[in-house]
Amino acid sequence: QKEVEQNSGPLSVPEGAIASLNCTYSDRGSQSFFWYRQYSGKSPELIMFIYSNGDKEDGRFTAQLNKASQYVSLLIRDSQPSDSATYLCAVTDAGTYKYIFGTGTRLKVLA
């Protein structure tokens, strides 16, 4: 069974701090990696994707990928209360059109 593991949280950080969210995956063949933000009662919204080892930055968000360790992380700098949400990690199922999702980490940014 291919899996994506995330700590369910909640992860609480003060406003202005860096929030660090982590994800591990079991399928060594996965090629594409995604972070989604989901507010309560809303649909998942894609915020970052990364395809190769290293870091990818977009505004306050940085995605980090380490394929050797099968580890993906999301850093949110200068965290805001509006960042409070559940963050879902997803990876592609190698050789198929499917995506495997983690159960999400709930982030709380305290004002």
Partner 1 sequence: NAGVTQTPKFQVLKTGQSMTLQCAQDMNHNSMYWYRQDPGMGLRLIYYSASEGTTDKGEVPNGYNVSRLNKREFSLRLESAAPSQTSVYFCASSDPKGYEQYFGPGTRLTVT
> Would you tell me which residues interact with partner 1 (CB under 8 A)?
8, 31-32, 34, 36, 42-46, 49, 88, 90, 92, 97-99, 101-104
Least separation in angstroms between CB 44 and partner 1: 5
* Nearest distance in Å: CB 3, partner 1: 10
User: By the 8 A CB rule, do 62 and 77 touch?
Assistant: yes
**Residue closer to partner 1, measured from CB, 13 or 90:** 90
User: For residues 79 and 84, which CB has a smaller minimum distance to partner 1 in the complex?
Assistant: 84
Please name the amino acid found at residue 41. Answer: G
- Smallest separation, CB 72 to partner 1 (Å): 15
Residue closer to partner 1, measured from CB, 82 or 98: 98
Contact residues for 35 (Cβ-Cβ < 8 A; gap 6+):
21, 46, 47, 48, 49, 61, 63, 72, 74, 87, 88, 89, 90
Amino acid in the structure at residue 108: K
**Which H/E stretch holds residue 46?**
strand 45-50
Q: How far is the CB of 50 from partner 1 (least distance, A)?
A: 11
Burial (Cβ within 10 Å: 0-12, 13-18, ≥19) of residue 38? middle
Residue with smaller CB distance to partner 1, 52 or 99? 99
